[in-house]
Chain A
Amino acid sequence: MDIGKDLVAASATPLVLAILSEGESYGYAIIKRVDELSGGELQWTDGMLYPVLHRLERNGLVKASWGRSEAGRRRKYYRLTDKGSDELTKQRRQWQVVNETLRSTPFMSYQLAPQAR
């Protein structure tokens, strides 16, 4: 499914934060996890993840450190900071509000209508 650019951009932060709340990770693994969780429906342009990660790092939501991969390559790992956890909680509430509001409108049934036809 082709998800609009704005929606991808808006969901990137909570998604990355949520995946990092499972534990320390790195760019490629995050992309794979998103792919896995969405059943391949949510496709990112891989490279675009990195500016997002760097922004989160600058804002202190994640902390980055250089380590090594199993193959011995330099690899940059990211983990969630306390500030990041707080932000995740805040974003969860915001998305819940959006989600519930959408649910209580005819939005969901419209969504189904074309497929039913």
Chain B
Amino acid sequence: MAHEGGVQVLEDRVLEWRSYVRRRRAIDATDVDELEDHLRSQVADLQAAGLDEEEAFLIGVKRLGELDALSREFAREHSERLWKRLVVAEAEEEGADRKREAVVALGLAVAAALAIKVPELFGVRLDGSAAAEFFYARNISLLVLPFLAGFFAWKRGMDSAGLLKLVAPFLAGAVAMNLMPFEPGGSTMLLAALHLPMALWFAVGFGYAGGAWRDHDQRMNFVRFSGEWFIYFVLIGLGGGVLMMFTMFIFGAIGLDAEWLLESWILPCGAAGAVVVAGWLVEAKQSVIENMAPVLTMLFTPLFVLMLLAFLVTMIWTGSGIAVEREVLIGFDLLLVLVVGLLLYSISARDPHAEPGLFDALQLVLVICALLVDAMALWAILARISAFGFTPNRVAALGENLILVVNLAWSAMLYTRFLRRQAGFGPVERWQTAYLPVYAAWAWIVVLAFPLLFQFQ
């Protein structure tokens, strides 16, 4: 029996060691296999010489060498691994799975690209007519996002009950956007069109979490996913821009105008496909550029703090208030969304066990600055509402500001407690993930309830 226990101990140890070594990027799965064979041979020899499993394992690991130095040597030989191949995954043991995933993802991307052109079959053509433009404004996310959500439903192997819940928001969105008697170009329609992609993005999140949306870790993973997805999407967009430029240029060189091709096919279809492709790439390459969003956050948090401080000082100095126009209010809303985003991403990347540091203090300054700016924006909106009454735009702006102000105020509070070491980092993180459904609920309210409340004006 003692021997049996020993074997189990050894297996556990080896497994633990494997996952530890595997974290080194320069050492890939097959290298770990090779090193494991070495380790096990060594352990077997030492055991034959009379050592027990524990001792043999420890000596075996020690003889393999210190992991930092080892990983450095591997990195020198395999420098390409640090710049991991961006496109095709290299894990050989799961090669077939990866390939199938790629086929499914690319198939869905093509489907999304075609879906965007389906309305044309029914005569809705983007040729400058307002009706067609409004149709696309209302429906574009409904034509594209189901494919991304579908990819995750497939990847996570969701059951039929989960699928039903995943389909429901898309159906609700489709019904609301196309059956409600919107006044063409009215505020409620534009607001709904603006908020539907956000509302549906949370439905994608439901698929991403495989239905387990209550799980806070899954929520945080989805936040990380969203950031990386955005970065991939922008990168693909940049590449697409270069491609289109050269298409115009070379066809122009032989006297052909390729603009119609770009405008009606390559741009819309490419963008729709890129939505799915970006999602797949983030999923497939989770370990590659996973740190991109946090790195950008680290870079820009101090700059945004400076910008907000400069703005506040200038405003106090000159005594000028915020002009209340729709664009200005939307601009301020976006600024606050961005600040919350910066906050969210630095939280998502932070080691929850690390001690409070300078960067956390900087976060707090950022949050407080944003709070002050937000308070002023709120003040301006309220003044506007009390003078001229409620309009859909003002109520939407007010609601968004209130939601953000609550988040920022409570974040500031939690950060302060964390910096004073009265609490750990857990509550800060947990608050953000707990708050996510509020954004989703608000987006859906604007999409579904606003048109009814304001009589589709």
A interface, CB within 8 angstroms of B: 26-28, 31, 45-48, 50-51, 54-55, 58, 69, 71, 73-76
Cα separation A75 to B37 with both chains bound (whole Å): 6
Contacts A47-B64, A51-B74: A74 and B69 contacting too (C-beta < 8 A)? Answer: no
Count chain B CB atoms within 10 A of each CB in A28, A31, A47, A54 and give the residue with the most: A47
The answer, yes or no, to whether B128 is at the interface (CB within 8 Å) is no
Find out whether the CB atom of A46 lies under 8 angstroms from the CB atom of B73: no
Cα separation A26 to B34 with both chains bound (whole Å): 9
Cα separation A69 to B73 with both chains bound (whole Å): 26
B interface, CB within 8 angstroms of A: 30-31, 33-38, 40-42, 44, 63-66, 69-70, 73-74, 76-78
Q: Do most interface residues of chain B lie in helix, strand or loop, or is the interface mixed?
A: helix
Nearest CB of B to A34, in Å: 13
Smallest Cβ-Cβ distance to B36: which chain A residue = A73
CB contact between A74 and one of B33, B41, B64, B74 (< 8 Å): that residue: B33
Count chain A CB atoms within 10 A of each CB in B38, B44, B69 and give the residue with the most: B38
Contacts A45-B64, A55-B77: A50 and B31 contacting too (C-beta < 8 A)? Answer: yes
Cα separation A104 to B66 with both chains bound (whole Å): 39
Smallest Cβ-Cβ distance to A69: which chain B residue = B37
Q: Which residues of B contact A50 (CB under 8 A)?
A: 31, 34-35, 38, 74
What 9 additional pairs, Cβ within 8 angstroms, besides A51-B73, A51-B74, A54-B77? A28-B41, A45-B66, A47-B64, A48-B65, A48-B70, A54-B78, A69-B41, A73-B40, A74-B37
Across chains A and B, which 10 residue pairs bring their CB atoms closest together, nearest first?
A: A45-B65, A47-B65, A28-B41, A47-B64, A51-B77, A51-B73, A47-B70, A28-B38, A46-B63, A76-B34
Q: Which residues of A contact B42 (CB under 8 A)?
A: 28, 46
Cα separation A50 to B36 with both chains bound (whole Å): 12
Cα separation A69 to B43 with both chains bound (whole Å): 14
Q: Which residues of A contact B73 (CB under 8 A)?
A: 47-48, 51
Nearest CB of A to B342, in Å: 40
Q: Which residues of B contact A58 (CB under 8 A)?
A: 77
Cα separation A28 to B35 with both chains bound (whole Å): 9
Q: Which residues of A contact B64 (CB under 8 A)?
A: 45-47
CB contact between B37 and one of A27, A31, A48, A54 (< 8 Å): that residue: A27
Contacts A50-B74, A54-B77, A55-B77: A26 and B63 contacting too (C-beta < 8 A)? Answer: no
- Cβ contacts A to B, 17 pairs, < 8 Å: A26-B37, A27-B37, A28-B42, A45-B63, A45-B66, A45-B69, A46-B65, A47-B64, A47-B65, A48-B65, A50-B31, A51-B74, A69-B37, A71-B40, A73-B36, A73-B37, A74-B37
Cα separation A70 to B64 with both chains bound (whole Å): 22
Smallest Cβ-Cβ distance to A57: which chain B residue = B77
Nearest CB of A to B115, in Å: 44
Q: Which residues of B contact A45 (CB under 8 A)?
A: 63-66, 69-70
Smallest Cβ-Cβ distance to B60: which chain A residue = A46
Nearest CB of B to A47, in Å: 4
Smallest Cβ-Cβ distance to A49: which chain B residue = B38
Smallest Cβ-Cβ distance to B73: which chain A residue = A51
Q: Which residues of B contact A47 (CB under 8 A)?
A: 35, 38, 64-65, 70, 73
Q: Which residues of A contact B77 (CB under 8 A)?
A: 51, 54-55, 58
Q: Which residues of B contact A27 (CB under 8 A)?
A: 34, 37-38
Count chain B CB atoms within 10 A of each CB in A31, A46, A54, A76 and give the residue with the most: A46
Nearest CB of A to B194, in Å: 54
Cα separation A71 to B7 with both chains bound (whole Å): 15
Q: Which residues of B contact A54 (CB under 8 A)?
A: 31, 74, 77-78
Q: Which residues of A contact B34 (CB under 8 A)?
A: 27, 50, 75-76
Q: Which residues of B contact A76 (CB under 8 A)?
A: 30, 33-34, 37
Q: Which residues of A contact B37 (CB under 8 A)?
A: 26-28, 69, 73-76
Cα separation A87 to B69 with both chains bound (whole Å): 28
Q: Which residues of B contact A48 (CB under 8 A)?
A: 65, 69-70, 73
Smallest Cβ-Cβ distance to A43: which chain B residue = B63
Cα separation A40 to B404 with both chains bound (whole Å): 69
Find out whether the CB atom of A46 lies under 8 angstroms from the CB atom of B78: no
Smallest Cβ-Cβ distance to B67: which chain A residue = A47
